[in-house]
Chains A and B, each alone.
Chain A
Amino acid sequence: MYLRNDSRPQGSRLSLRVAVVGGVGAVLFAVLFFRLWNLQVLSGDKYLAEAKNNRTREFKVIAPRGDILDRDGDVLVDNRTSLALQLNTRKLPDDPVEERAELARLGELTHMSLRQVRRSIEKGEEVAAGAPVTLRRDVGFDLIAYVEENQDEFPGVAVQRVFVRHYPDGVRAAHVLGNVGEITEAELKEPRYKGLEPGDEIGQAGAEYAYDEFLRGDPGLTRIQVNALGQPTPGGQLVSMPPTPGDNVKLTIDGDVQSAGEGGLAARGLPGAFISMNIDNGQILAMGSNPTYDPTVLIEPTQAQVNELYRDEVLAPLVNRATEGAYPTGSIFKIITALAALENGQITPDTVVQDNGQIEVGTDTFENAGGVAHGAVELRRALQVSSDVYFYLLGLDMWKTNELQEWAHKLGIGRPAGLDLPEEGETLLPSKAWREQLVKEGLALEDRPWSAGDNIQLATGQGDLQTNPLQMAIAYAALGSGGRIVTPHVGLEVEDEAGRVLKEFDPKPQRKIHIDPSHRTVILEGLHAAAQEGEGTAAGVFGGFPIPIAGKTGTAERPGHADQSWFAALSPYPNPRIVTVATVEEGGFGAESAAPVVLDILEAIYDKQAAEVSSAGGAE
């Protein structure tokens, strides 16, 4: 021990100890300096980025979706702004008791039970984990004021201005327009939704789906500065990028014609569908399905509404029967049989057949409707009075040749039509090959080959045929235009807010087929006679209609149902521009219910044309 207090401690032992402490101190300071250098100079940029990220919160500013307009520019769908009560679940109290209390308070405000609140949170988390959950839209100002005055009681609750789809005419064109909804997990992975985030709304059906990329717009961004508690700090708005609204999409739909069709169909009070289309370019002027629905309901359906809309498989209001239906067509199919027989040389327009009201094939007997005998008929007359026997014989003739199926296929029966909307249903054109395949797979009800009877049935649009108004419209359009198989579409053009056209949709025809003009003429003659002359099957309906048309009734026997009524019309005769097809389930004879629907549509079209012509001073 070197201590002796009165003298200054000396010697190498103290020096050593001081030196050791000095050395340790030097090392410790060196460590601090090195660490400081490492943090600030070597990785400073990384930490700076982290700090900036730390203190900013980005808020997406939702872009208003574009409007959907009809061909005249009348609004079919636009937006209204609505105030939505949103809950940021991350800001809920950690304490389960407090959380429960807050959710209960919220439930009281929004007229929901605690369970309902929890369920909507769960649902929201499923769709987009972490994103604010919308508890209720369209909240009133009094409720908002209450929440804002009592912010302390409602941590995490915010009021957001949201855009909600608005359908000024309720159910009108519901099936064409479709609806929007929050993007799902599965959709987020699809390439067409690249760049979208959970919580974004996209078109889920109809034109909203088909033209989503134009309607959608780009969200804006507000970046604000927040403190550690996530509260905005004064003057902390760092970036504000306004959203780019979606473009407007103009449809080929004519609102007036659409209304007429829907009104006519609704008047029948039965399920059914109609379509009216330009035969030259495939523009769909009107298309509807009954029963229909109000798309507003889909924005926030109640459980009862979900049941009604989704669960009722018989009425199935969401189904667009014009494109998703699958029916036998009855006699309106006969033009296809006629075309096939004419083009293949089975008959000439003047070939006469003796119609005794029925034919017998093997053990089976095939009768005219009501067993009426039409006597000697050639093609025009056969079409006018709808002689089944005439076409039964053609079906029998073409039983083994598959020519009927080839022509039906060429005209678009039983194959995708190329419609721009996502709703296009499965259809079936029965044939020998189909039958054999069915038997091979053991799916046939009867284990038998394709019979003459099968082909006879098909020749009159009966039997296993499953098609829809859209396909029949395309086939009739092909007849009317002399062989052009159009691409049906409802999209006309994309416009910006100022109405400047950004893009036009004019899809090329799917294909062209050769139809001898004389054959076309004779069939149209037959159809014109059927619609508007004397004994014509629809003369009772169209006899007094001022515009000459070519039309055909159909009465389809649908297993398990009463007869289904069909009518297909090409107008004006003899140089048609528009095809119109309607069908009414269990509507009886073609002239009974489908033809009046077509009449309503044609009246709307030609009344409007006449009005336009007169207002334009007789031009066009």
Chain B
Amino acid sequence: MYATRTRNARPEPFAVHVGIGERLGLANMDWPLTIAAIALIAFSVFTLGEATQNDIPGDPNYFLERQAIYAALGIVGMVLLTRIDYSRFRELRVGIYTFLCASISLVFVFGFAARGSRRAFELPFFSFQPSELGKLLLVLALAGFVIDGARRGSAVQRTVRYLCLGLAPAALVFLQPDLGTSLVYVVATLAVMYFGGVPWMHFAVIGGVLATLVAVVLVVAPAAGVPLLKGYQEERLTSFLNPHEHEGGAGYQQNQSKVAIGSGEITGRGDKATQTRLDFVPERHTDFIFAVIGERYGFMGAAFVLSLYALLFWRALRITTLSKNAYGTLVAGGIAVALLFQTFVNVGMNLGIMPITGIPLPLMSYGGSSVLATFLAVGVLQSINVQAHLSQRGRFAW
């Protein structure tokens, strides 16, 4: 497709005919990425509308309306970011980083507690969860630090510095406690470092340390009588390995989710989707929305949604190679990997092959913070794409 498109056919920047797209600065958007993102949120709104009719008595469209508003806000945010040169964020990295850490910390003071966890501020029209936006902020700031520090210190010093910068907010989020989001921070940090050229050997060491840590946290420490994770956290993390042992607890959710998805078969059960309609699957509008899709729309619907995520990931990864500068590559890489990670962990959790970590499905799970943050991240990707084209240097195309 791109191979057949000649650059000469594109309008010149100062062409006489200036279309609406051009005026909005959208001409150089990556349209497959845009379409994937909008298709996903559309599917989300549609699914929520169908599946949550009876959730709020007297307000059948509660979730549908709110998710639609978040989607609209998100799309506006995405378009705005598309028009901005993302490179400015590199200069603002210290401010962004400070804001990131501060906003997460403030949750401890002002946040409201939901299910034993302080994650969000209660705002007049919705509750804002800073750690969601923080995923993007962390990538933007950390990529800046990596570029900035590329020539300072030894390779080991640099690696340690990046790790510390990335793991500090991750630790704050972990303490909220929000294990899932903190894992996204860790993965995003590693991704930015990876695209920043940190040597393979360092990753091998980090991998080794991580493996040891997991072993200590899950096996050694509890055995020694020093539990580091809260009971429910550990149970969620390990129950997927043998769900039948945990029929009543964490394993129950996953088992019901599996039954829901499996029962959708090829074409789905539509309104007969009893598993997700009759509360057998918990959190069906947020963490387990993929189970709703699987049951209602079957393999055809679920595979279609998965394909959209694959498209999203591919376009994001492609943008890393188009970027006009290394900062853009790092940011796009961080965002791409974070999206891949969240998608895989959430869908894997719905399918019973990943632990329950409370990571929402980007652009699908109900929730303003997540939808907005993801659209802003897509906006940053678009900005990188647009800038690459504007700088006339995006010749490389897959």
Contacts and interface: CB of A to CB of B under 8 A. Distances in A.
B317 A32 contact: no
Interface string B324-366: 1111010001001100100010011001110000000000000
Contact of A225 (B274, B309, B351, B393): B274
Interface string A221-241: 000011111000100000000
Interface stretch (B34-42, B189-197, B212-220): B189-197
Given A33-B303, A36-B351, A51 B333 contact: no
A39 B325 contact: no
Interface string A340-354: 000000000000000
B325 A8 contact: yes
A402 interface: no
A25 interface: yes
Kindly name the residue among A3, A15, A33, A37 whose own CB sees the greatest number of chain B CB atoms within 10 A.
A3
Kindly name the residue among B196, B258, B259 whose own CB sees the greatest number of chain A CB atoms within 10 A.
B259
A501 B196 CA distance: 94
A55 B272 CA distance: 11
A3 B344 CA distance: 30
Contact of B294 (A8, A14, A36, A54): A36
A43 interface: yes
A227 B278 contact: yes
Interface secondary structure of B, over-half rule:
helix
B326 A48 contact: no
B278 A48 contact: no
Interface string B275-318: 10011100000000000001100110011001001100110010
Interface stretch (B25-33, B72-80, B171-179, B262-270): B262-270
Nearest to B265: A44
Contacts of B323: 8-9
Given A3-B196, A47-B258, A54-B275, A21 B351 contact: no
A40 interface: yes
A231 to B, nearest CB: 9
B161 to A, nearest CB: 14
A217 B326 CA distance: 82
Contacts of B146: 3
Interface in B150-167: 150-151, 155
A561 interface: no
Interface in A233-291: 233
Contact of A47 (B196, B197, B263, B314): B263
B264 A40 contact: yes
A40 B275 contact: no
A303 interface: no
B378 interface: no
A22 B323 CA distance: 17
Contacts of B324: 8
B147 interface: yes
A32 B348 CA distance: 7
Contact of B278 (A9, A28, A233): A233
Contacts of A95: none
A36 B280 contact: no
Kindly name the residue among B263, B320, B321, B337 whose own CB sees the greatest number of chain A CB atoms within 10 A.
B263
A619 B298 CA distance: 80
A500 interface: no
Nearest to A42: B262
A225 B278 contact: yes
A142 interface: no
Contacts, number: 163
A54 B326 contact: no
A304 interface: no
B325 A47 contact: no
A190 interface: no
B196 A44 contact: no
A52 interface: yes
A1 interface: yes
Contacts of A14: 195, 320-321, 329
Contacts of A51: 259-260, 262-263, 274-275, 280, 295
A40 B197 contact: no
A67 to B, nearest CB: 42
Interface residues of A, number: 46
A131 B155 CA distance: 70
Contacts of B150: 1, 3-5
A17 interface: yes
A228 B261 contact: no
Interface string A23-59: 0110011011101110111011111101110110000
A13 interface: yes
Given A3-B146, A36-B261, A228 B340 contact: no
B274 A45 contact: no
B278 A4 contact: no
A401 interface: no
Contact of A39 (B310, B314, B327, B351): B351
A226 to B, nearest CB: 7
Interface in B174-232: 191, 194-197
B197 A48 contact: no
A38 to B, nearest CB: 9
A6 interface: yes
A254 B314 CA distance: 92
A559 to B, nearest CB: 66
A18 B259 contact: no
A50 B263 contact: yes
Given A21-B333, A40-B294, A48 B263 contact: yes
B195 to A, nearest CB: 6
A228 B313 CA distance: 36
A446 B282 CA distance: 82
B89 to A, nearest CB: 13
B194 A17 contact: yes
Given A7-B325, A36-B294, A47 B353 contact: no
A44 B262 contact: yes
Nearest to A36: B302
Kindly name the residue among B266, B275, B306 whose own CB sees the greatest number of chain A CB atoms within 10 A.
B275
Contacts of B353: 31, 35
A50 B348 CA distance: 21
Contacts of A25: 310, 313-314, 317, 340
Contacts of A32: 306, 344, 347-348, 351
A2 interface: yes
A33 B305 CA distance: 11
Given A36-B306, A46-B262, 15 more contacts: A1-B151, A1-B155, A18-B320, A29-B306, A32-B351, A33-B306, A36-B294, A36-B303, A39-B352, A40-B294, A41-B299, A44-B262, A52-B274, A227-B280, A228-B256
13 contacts: A4-B326, A5-B325, A14-B195, A18-B317, A24-B340, A28-B340, A35-B353, A36-B299, A45-B265, A48-B262, A50-B259, A54-B274, A227-B280
The 8 tightest CB contacts between A and B, nearest first, are A47-B262, A44-B265, A51-B263, A228-B279, A227-B278, A40-B299, A55-B274, A48-B263
Interface of B: 90, 146-147, 150-151, 155, 191, 194-197, 256, 258-266, 269, 274-275, 278-280, 294-295, 298-299, 302-303, 306, 309-310, 313-314, 317, 320-321, 323-327, 329, 333, 336-337, 340, 344, 347-348, 351-353, 388, 393
